[in-house]
């Protein structure tokens, strides 16, 4: 599988290179160059399949030959070692609980998958260069990334978080692991942290010295695995024979984008609904086609 840059000015790369780079040299996001629907036999048998087998079938075309099948299955078994309960809220309305991972954030699956892929690519220490993962967080991402990358060899993690703007538990998740995880408290907002990360990625002098990658959801190994959730939900609901609508709380729209990829792979999703908080840059863009950046504001949602 090849990945192209959405800015169309960089060459195509393999999964491995897309994961290690994070962002293309032309600053574009990497996106899979083709999407092949899964065979109907997959959808016919899905109720008899375990989560790891479902995830393997869904992700294997995106990984290609860069990780052999047996290793990819082992990575997925490790990543998906917790439950994804589907709980009835009221008749015909279900909640897919995605907070049963180690840091209680739905980002655990993506962070753990990316960490294990990078760890796999670094296994051969004679050729591998140490990678530094640089990430800005408003709370959830940093915790999931710190936990997911903890003790992964050949990978150092540096997390920037805004002082006083993450919860006490989140601050402890970021700052108490140690070893290959370094957290830096920034006197500023999340946007200031994000700007520092972006500046580091543009600093040619720095990049020559240190291999940098991002664990924000611009990384294909972070956001693509989120498509598993949609397959897991379908497996549980298929026998009811009803049309499926997903409602996805969104920030960067990584999770819902993964759901739309699942739909392209043939998962029968009728419709998506997305909710956002006051930081509504994306919905405004979809409405007006004008990408108006504005300062983010804190809300009661994490
Ligand atoms: C990260 C996060 C979101 C936003 O997810 P995106 O994939 O960026 O759209 C929404 N809600 C919670 C609780 C989150 O942690």
Higher-confidence position of 211 and 36: 36
Catalytic residue among 16, 107, 165, 235: 107
**How buried is residue 246: exposed, middle or buried, by Cβ count under 10 Å (0-12/13-18/19+)?**
buried
Instruction: Please tell me if the CB atom of residue 140 comes closer than 6 angstroms to any atom of ligand 1.
Output: yes
Cα torsion for 298, 216, 160, 277, to the nearest 10°?
Answer: 0
pLDDT digits (tens, 9 = 90+) for 203-254: 888 878 888 888 888 899 999 999 999 999 999 999 999 999 999 999 889 9
Q: Which of the residue ranges 33-37, 206-210, 240-244, 264-268 would you say has the lowest mean pLDDT?
A: 206-210
Instruction: Please tell me if the CB atom of residue 108 comes closer than 6 angstroms to any atom of ligand 1.
Output: no
- Helices 254-264 and 227-237 cross at an angle (nearest 10°) of 60
Res 187: pLDDT: 97
Take residue 191 and report the two structure tokens written for it.
């946007």
E strands within the chain? 2-5, 13-14, 30-32, 86-90, 93-96, 131-136, 155-162, 181-186, 211-214, 245-249, 271-275
Res 70: pLDDT: 97
| Alpha carbon distance 64, 75 (integer Å) | 15
Helix (H) or strand (E) holding 189: none
Query: Which residue CA neighbors atom 11 of ligand 1 most closely?
Result: 249
Instruction: Please tell me if the CB atom of residue 251 comes closer than 6 angstroms to any atom of ligand 1.
Output: yes
Give the model's confidence band at 302: pLDDT under 50 very low, under 70 low, under 90 confident, else very high: low
CA of 250 to the centre of ligand 1 (A): 5
Res 103: pLDDT: 92
pTM of the full structure: 0.93
Percent of the chain with pLDDT over 90: 76
Instruction: Please tell me if the CB atom of residue 254 comes closer than 6 angstroms to any atom of ligand 1.
Output: yes
Cα torsion for 81, 99, 241, 271, to the nearest 10°?
Answer: -120
Higher-confidence position of 142 and 208: 142
How much is the mean pLDDT over the chain? 93
Give the model's confidence band at 76: pLDDT under 50 very low, under 70 low, under 90 confident, else very high: very high
Tokens 């600093």 -> residue: 203
- Answer for the pair 259, 227: CB distance below 8 angstroms, yes or no: yes
| Pocket residue to mutate for ligand 1, from 106, 137, 253, 286, most atoms within 8 A of Cβ | 106
Res 206: pLDDT: 83
Answer whether residue 127 shows pLDDT above 90.
Answer: no
Answer whether residue 109 shows pLDDT above 90.
Answer: yes
Answer whether residue 256 shows pLDDT above 80.
Answer: yes
> Among the ranges 94-103, 195-204, 292-301, which has the highest mean pLDDT value?
94-103
Answer whether residue 85 shows pLDDT above 90.
Answer: yes
Res 23: pLDDT: 86
Answer whether residue 126 shows pLDDT above 90.
Answer: no
Percent of the chain with pLDDT over 70: 98
What would the mean pLDDT of 107-134 be, rounded to a whole number?
Answer: 87
Phi then psi for 25, rounded to 5 degrees?
Answer: -60, -25
Instruction: Please tell me if the CB atom of residue 167 comes closer than 6 angstroms to any atom of ligand 1.
Output: no
Res 220: pLDDT: 96
- State which ligand 1 atom lies nearest to the alpha carbon of 257: 7
Is there a catalytic annotation at residue 125? no
CA of 281 to the centre of ligand 1 (A): 14
Instruction: Please tell me if the CB atom of residue 138 comes closer than 6 angstroms to any atom of ligand 1.
Output: no
Res 83: pLDDT: 96
């Amino acid at each position: 599988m090849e990945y192209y840059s959405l800015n169309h000015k960089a060459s195509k790369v393999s999964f491995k290179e897309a994961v290690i780079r994070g962002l293309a040299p032309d600053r574009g996001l990497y996106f899979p160059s083709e999407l092949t629907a899964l065979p109907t036999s997959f959808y016919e048998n899905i109720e008899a399949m375990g989560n790891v087998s479902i995830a393997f079938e869904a992700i294997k075309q995106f990984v290609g030959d860069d990780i052999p099948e047996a290793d990819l299955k082992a990575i997925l078994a490790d990543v998906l070692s917790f439950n994804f309960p589907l709980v009835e809220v009221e008749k015909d309305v279900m909640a897919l609980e995605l907070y049963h991972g180690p840091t209680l954030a739905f980002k655990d699956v993506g962070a753990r998958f990316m960490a294990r892929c990078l760890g796999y690519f670094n296994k051969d220490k004679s050729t591998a260069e140490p990678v530094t993962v640089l990430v800005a967080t408003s709370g959830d991402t940093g915790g999931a990334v710190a936990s997911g990358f903890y003790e992964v060899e050949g990978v150092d993690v540096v997390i920037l978080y805004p002082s006083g703007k993450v919860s006490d538990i989140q601050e402890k998740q970021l700052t108490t692991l140690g070893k290959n995880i370094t957290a830096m408290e920034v006197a500023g907002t999340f946007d200031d942290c994000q700007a520092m990360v972006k500046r580091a990625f543009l600093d040619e002098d720095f990049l020559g010295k240190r291999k940098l990658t991002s664990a924000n959801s611009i990384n294909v190994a972070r956001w693509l695995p989120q498509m598993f959730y949609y397959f897991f939900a379908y497996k549980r609901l298929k026998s009811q024979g009803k049309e499926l609508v997903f409602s996805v709380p969104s920030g960067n729209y990584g999770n819902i984008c993964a759901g739309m990829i699942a739909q392209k792979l043939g998962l029968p999703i009728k419709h998506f609904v997305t909710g956002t908080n006051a930081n509504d840059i994306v919905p405004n863009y979809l409405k007006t086609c004008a990408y108006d950046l504005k300062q983010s504001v804190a809300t009661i949602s994490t």
